[in-house]
Amino acid sequence: MNIAANRNFVALKTIWVKECTRFLRIWIQTLVPPAITMSLYFVIFGNLIGKRIGEMGGFSYMEFIVPGLIMMSVITSSYSNVSSSFFSAKFQRNVEELLVAPVPTWVVIMGFVGGGVARALIIGVLVTCVSMFFVDVKIHSFFVIVVTLVLTSILFATAGLINGIYAKNFDDISVIPTFVLTPLTYLGGVFYSLTLLPDFWQVVSQANPIVYMVNGFRYGFLGVSDVNHWTAIGLLIVFNIALLSVAYQLLKKGVGIRS
């Protein structure tokens, strides 16, 4: 048992290090752009538009949007990292080496997902540091911040893996982020409070899973949220279990890989 556990640990560490080395080698393309993009959001929405809006939920508009912008960068980076990495492995046909190796399916999943989580956490820290130049960052619950951030990173890294499994060409990698993630993120309460919406649209917005991630994360910083933060954490756990199970079954069966 110890031999098998050591073998799995070495395999997991190898895949994870490979994934981290992959995005760190080209850090100018993977880490710097999100920080620059978020800086523009802070300048345009925080300083220019925020001064006209005033307060939101009892906080300055800049303070209100900071958690949402951090979460937006985390969602995008964790998803894109794994989807592009796994599809590249399929395209180069080196993923077949993992299939024939004596490595459990869960090790392969956690290796790729771990790489996406690492990139998302680094970008989350970078964007947080950038936000400190524009506003005094407050922390209401460090526990909620960490839990929400990690669970969201795992969730979208797993979603990116599923996208990579199904993708048949590079165009398939950009379809979900462009037509699904981006609209859901902008409608997820990043730039506004759900209380500003009519009752009907408040109910509709609650069907958007990103609403719970953004608001749970915002509660960790400001102590205010449009939804219960424990509900947000509970849903994140359920979503993670569901997507990890789907990814496991797909990879186990070789969907999109074995011909």
Q: What is the pLDDT along the chain (259 residues), one digit of tens a residue?
A: 577 778 888 888 999 999 999 999 989 888 998 888 888 888 887 777 777 777 777 788 888 989 999 999 999 999 999 999 998 888 887 777 777 778 888 999 999 999 999 999 999 999 999 888 888 888 999 999 999 999 999 999 999 999 999 988 888 888 888 888 888 888 888 888 888 888 888 888 889 999 999 999 999 999 999 899 999 999 999 999 999 999 999 988 878 776 5
Q: What total number of domains does the chain contain?
A: 1
Residue 259 lies in a domain: no
Please state, in angstroms and rounded to a whole number, the distance separating the CA atoms of residues 18 and 82: 12
- Residue 258 within any structural domain of the chain: no
- For the record, the structure tokens of 88 come out as 């590249």
Whole-model pTM: value is 0.92
Query: Is 49 contained in some domain?
Result: yes
Residue 179: how many CA atoms within 13 Å on its side-chain side? 6
Cα 133 to its chain centre, rounded Å, is: 23
Find tokens 């524009």 and name the residue.
134
Residue 247 within any structural domain of the chain: yes
**What are the structure tokens assigned to 59, written together?**
């906080």
**Is the residue at 190 inside a domain?**
yes
Beta bridge mates, 60: 55
pLDDT of amino acid 128 = 92
Which pLDDT score is estimated for 258? 64
CA distance 158 to 83: 9
- Structural domain of residue 119, as residue ranges? 2-253
Report yes or no: 130 and 35 within 8 Å, Cβ to Cβ.
Answer: yes
Greatest alpha-carbon pair distance for the chain in Å reads 64
Residue 38 Rama label (left phi>0; alpha psi -120 to 50; beta): alpha
Q: Residue 102 in 3-state DSSP? A: coil
Tell me, yes or no, whether 202 lies in a domain: yes
Instruction: Return d(Cα 13, Cα 25) in angstroms, integer.
Output: 18
- Would residue 76 count as lying in a domain? yes
Give residue 137's pLDDT: 83
